[in-house]
Amino acid sequence: MPTQTRAPQLASAGKALLLPMAIDCLVLGAGQEVGKSCAVVTINGKRIMFDCGMHMGYLDRRRYPDFSRVAPDGDFDGALDCVVITHFHLDHVGALPYFTEVCGYRGPIYMTYPTKALAPLMLEDYRKVMVERRGEEEQFTTENIADCMKKVIAVDLKQTVQVDSELQIRAYYAGHVIGAAMFYAKVGDSALVYTGDYNMTPDRHLGAAQIDRLQLDLLITESTYATTVRDSKYTREREFLMAVHKCVAGGGKVLIPTFALGRAQ
């Protein structure tokens, strides 16, 4: 969808947004839905895949992004300059072993050190649940996960990484979960930020997202709760504690189901 303005533009679901400053965005997942985050951005001739997630609500081919849209001939190394993963949640990294070990992508993959440490735990847990407990067809093996992570280049926050002579990327603290990062990418005089999931409200575990003041041509942002007005942290903690005290005072026991990574901490 062409546009005549040079102002920053927000990519919409399922559409390639062609901007006059030579930035093209192909949204392959998480456009107007929650799941399989994946956006392929071409910036001044360089092509970056931001996130490579799976959709937890599907068990058929819709589980993964349609990678044929990236390279119809299957030459993913020629079609992409790098892959960037924002954090370890499966809707952002779940399709990565399939993309590298089954589809055959061999190019550079960037993520933060905590994401590189925790992503294989999430991926292996998912594989065990789907294959060993539910009897689903195996999409990737334990060895595939290990081989995939060997291709990953870990980066520090605010470290400027020169992917090649023209493309540079930089990670910024996103809050959300440990290791989560927003990524800045620049080629020539064009620049963009892809946020992934981020949190602007600090809690007792992580701080609020932080990023420099940047001159951008494109912002691609997570917006799952964009129209949700949440109670204050004080109000939510007070209601939680009141419910716990009421249960315990009545002789009951409190069971709190929560994600083992992130929420539990």
Q: Catalytic site residue 237?
A: no
**Of 132, 222, 237, 239, which one is the catalytic site residue?**
222
Contact between 157 and 112 (Cβ < 8 Å): yes
Structure token pair of residue 173: 């603290």
Strands (E), the chain: 17-19, 23-29, 38-43, 46-50, 82-84, 109-112, 152-155, 160-162, 167-173, 181-187, 190-194, 218-220
* Rounded distance between C-alpha atoms, residue 157 and residue 183, angstroms: 9
Read off φ and ψ for residue 66, nearest 5 degrees: -80, 90
Task: Name the burial class of residue 25, with classes exposed (0-12), middle (13-18) and buried (19+) by CB atoms within 10 angstroms of its CB.
Answer: buried
Output the CA torsion sign for 99, 87, 190, 187.
Answer: negative
- Residues serving a catalytic function are 222
